[in-house]
Structure 1
Amino acid sequence: VINSERKPKEKINLPTELDIQGTLSSDPIKMADYMNNFFVNIADDTIHNNGQTTGQAMLLPVDNPDIPVLDLYQTIRQEVSRVMDSLKPKTSSGYDGISAKLLKTCKEELIDPIVDK
């Protein structure tokens, strides 16, 4: 209510026509098909226009002395348990969709696969 009194909503005008191969079309199905086709093919078209093939390696490994070697050490069950116990029991989740609360609840089932050699 307050926002509607303070400032009227601005009407957003969306495009109603699309230039499809030189012809203006207002048919929503044709517009959607054209846009879907464009976004499905744009990556392959760009790669082709740049003289690359999809099977070609995009990045080659480079030895860089400025990047230190990553050494990973085995962990033990108690360390993983301690880290999981230290998590705040939040119900919000990250990109993986797993909350800290769920992780703590399933701790015993998860520890062994994490530390498995």
Structure 2
Amino acid sequence: MKATWKTINNLLGNVKTQFTKAFMIDGKQTSDPVEISDRFNEHFSTIASELVKSIPQSDSHHTEFLHSRSPTSMFIFPTTPTEIKNLIHEIKPKSSSGMDGIPGKVIKSTPDNILIALSHVFNLSLQSGTFLKAFKISK
């Protein structure tokens, strides 16, 4: 069976390619894994600063390229209690919970007066650029 698939793959041009373990570094061929990994590290750790040098200077301010605030986006503050209520409404009412341990069913039953406090906390977080560790974890 293996030989059959090998023949079919050869006919289709799906031949496994073999990669070389040797690289040309400074005009000489090397297969030393430490030297190769060091060169890759050097390249990828300096490429960003090299690219930044090639970007032309601009007299325009970055805000000129930003579009107006999306009325449905919670990520450009200030967010409103209504936005939070709409996002909570989209949560699936499951009994499983997230990293906070609160099931979706409980979150969906959140009283409206808590939405004002949530909105305030989210806006402070966005304004200061400070986020709780729990906000950075997905499950």
Q: Please, what TM-score do these two structures have when normalized by structure 1?
A: 0.51
Q: Which structure 2 residue ranges, 5 or more long, are not aligned?
A: 10-14, 72-77, 122-139
- Tell me what 1:38 maps to: 43
Aligned residues: 99
CA RMSD of aligned residues (A): 4.7
- Tell me what 1:104 maps to: 104
Q: Is the 8 A contact 2:22 2:31 kept in 1?
A: yes
Q: Counterparts of 1:1-117 in structure 2 under 5 Å?
A: 7-8=5-6, 11-48=16-53, 50=54, 60-62=62-64, 67-68=67-68, 70=70, 74-75=80-81, 80=85, 83-84=87-88, 86-88=90-92, 89=94, 104=104, 107=107, 114-116=118-120
Residue 115 to residue 58, structure 1, CA distance change in 2 (3 Å): same
Q: 1:5 and 1:106 mapped to 2: Cα distance?
A: 58
Q: 1:16 and 1:58 mapped to 2: Cα distance?
A: 47
Q: Please, what TM-score do these two structures have when normalized by structure 2?
A: 0.45
User: Which residue identity is paired with 1:44?
Assistant: S
Residue 103 to residue 112, structure 1, CA distance change in 2 (3 Å): farther
Deviation at 1:51, TM superposition (A): 6.2
Q: Which structure 1 residue ranges, 5 or more long, are not aligned?
A: 92-97
Residue 31 to residue 5, structure 1, CA distance change in 2 (3 Å): same
